[in-house]
Amino acid sequence: MAAVADDASMDAVQRRLMFEDECILVDENDVVIGHESKYNCHLVEKIESLNLLHRAFSVFLFNSKYELLLQQRSETKVTFPLVWTNTCCSHPLYRESELIQENYLGVRNAAQRKLLDELGIPAEDIPVDEFIPLGRMLYKAPSDGKWGEHEVDYLLFIVRDVKLLPNPDEVADVKYVNRDQLKELLRKADAGEEGVKLSPWFRLVVDNFLMEWWARVEQGTLLEAADMETIHKLV
């Protein structure tokens, strides 16, 4: 319980999630090798000493105008508070429904669960078979001196018009952007204007994949870009 005592100042909701959620540990080929608490998976000390690598997902949700939904992470988030990022970013948990490998159903189930948790989007509005897995990337990123990320991240796209009811424990703000508005957000982040910060995983996707894939969303050719064989190592 020493870890709990050490983090007594942590927001109660985030502390519960940190200690109750069990992330899926994988090797660099995304083969499941075990499980570990969300807390330990995000401690830089554990990431470095044990090379802990866990499975994650990033959802990119577009409306029928092909605008991308962004969220600003809550101030109480343990890692990367108040940064702007893609629609939803989280982890499949070490449970039967989220370990299913076939058709990436475990990751899709987790995405559906977290879109409800974070943004209030009901499952019937985002059927699991509507998520398009486009690729996987492996990256490592520090949040501060104590916390960080080391993930194999599944990149999921979906085009749906949805109603939002953001959870303030998870999300500080939301907005839809077109490509020009996203470029302006990137400019502000690069210039340090208005305190704008972007999550490192979102920036990696923007810099390596997003604009091409966004064009394919508009053209209706997104499936042609899918490559789930490769794990892009962006570390």
Classify residue 82 as left (phi > 0), alpha (psi -120 to 50) or beta. left
Sign of dihedral through CA atoms 157, 162, 168, 174? Answer: positive
Residue from 22, 36, 151, 170 carrying the catalytic annotation: 151
φ, ψ of residue 33 in degrees (nearest 5): -125, 0
Tokens of 86: 């893609």
DSSP 76: T
Question: DSSP 3-state assignment of 212?
Answer: helix
Residue from 36, 89, 98, 170 carrying the catalytic annotation: 89
Active site residue 98: no
Active site residue 151: yes
Spatial contact of 85 and 71, defined as CB atoms under 8 Å apart: yes
DSSP 136: E
Catalytic residues: 89, 151
